[in-house]
């Protein structure tokens, strides 16, 4: 059973405060615009009850646990700016809590992003998109996946991501699907570009399965 998009399930302590451009967002914004044009990130009245979907994040510094992520329900925005981002200052995965600041609250998938950053300091970027074609062909493409009974944005999801990673599945391909989160696909990499290219690669492969 798939779940409604955009519902924040973790405990959030959020400070409503404008964040400055901590580093250049040009690469992040460029890839987000590409994914927006491909309808992998966005907002559509015909999809997910009209709620925004998809998000993108980048680690603040190489060995920092802090990261910047697109704000909750910013899917309709074509070009993202610092004002539409949130800074996750601290994530306690096992206690299901986040501390953040920004004019927008962080995405409902922030706990999943935090779990990936905690696994390996080489992971510098995480992208969550909604791709019906990749999601539909998870098994045909032999993709790692989170089982349908695991709810998104939860400790269970974060723990399952860690299990996948430690099993070696995510060393073979840095992309997985969430079968309990309709069309949900997550990619990660040492740069925004590598994560984005992984999504494009599997989008083309999935299209060949149609």
Can you give the pLDDT at residue 79? 87
Per-residue pLDDT of 139-188, as tens digits, reads 999 999 999 999 887 889 889 999 999 999 998 899 999 999 999 999 99
Cα(163)–Cα(174) distance, integer angstroms: 14
Cα(111)–Cα(88) distance, integer angstroms: 10
CATH architecture of 11-208: 3-Layer(aba) Sandwich (3.40)
Q: pLDDT band for position 2 (50/70/90)?
A: very low
The strand pair at 11-16 and 97-102 is best described as parallel
By percentage, how much of the chain surpasses pLDDT 70? 95
Sketch the domain layout of the chain as residue ranges.
11-208
Helix ranges (H only) for 72-121 are: 110-119
Our CA dihedral for 62, 128, 153, 156, rounded to 10 degrees, sits at -80
Can you give the pLDDT at residue 19? 85
Nearest to 52 by CA among 37, 39, 69: 39
Angle subtended at Cα 2 by Cα 114 and Cα 146, rounded to the nearest 5 degrees: 45
């Amino acid at each position: 059973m798939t779940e409604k998009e955009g519902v924040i399930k973790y405990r959030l302590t959020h400070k409503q405060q404008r964040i400055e451009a901590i580093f250049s967002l040009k690469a992040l914004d460029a890839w987000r615009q590409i994914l927006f044009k491909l309808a992998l990130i966005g907002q559509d009245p015909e999809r997910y009850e009209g709620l925004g979907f998809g998000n993108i994040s980048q680690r603040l510094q190489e060995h920092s646990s802090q990261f910047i992520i697109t704000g909750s329900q910013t899917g309709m925005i074509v070009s993202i700016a610092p004002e539409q981002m949130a800074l996750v200052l601290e994530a306690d995965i096992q206690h299901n809590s986040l501390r953040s600041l920004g004019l927008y609250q962080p995405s409902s998938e922030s706990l999943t992003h935090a779990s990936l950053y905690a696994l390996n300091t080489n992971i510098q970027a995480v992208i969550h998109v909604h791709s019906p074609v990749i999601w539909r062909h998870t098994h045909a493409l032999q993709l790692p996946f989170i089982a349908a009974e695991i709810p998104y944005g939860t400790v269970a999801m974060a723990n399952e991501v860690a299990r996948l990673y430690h099993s070696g599945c995510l060393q073979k391909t840095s992309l997985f699907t969430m079968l309990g989160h309709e069309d949900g696909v997550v990619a990660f990499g040492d740069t925004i570009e590598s994560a984005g290219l992984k999504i494009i690669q599997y989008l083309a492969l999935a299209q060949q399965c149609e």
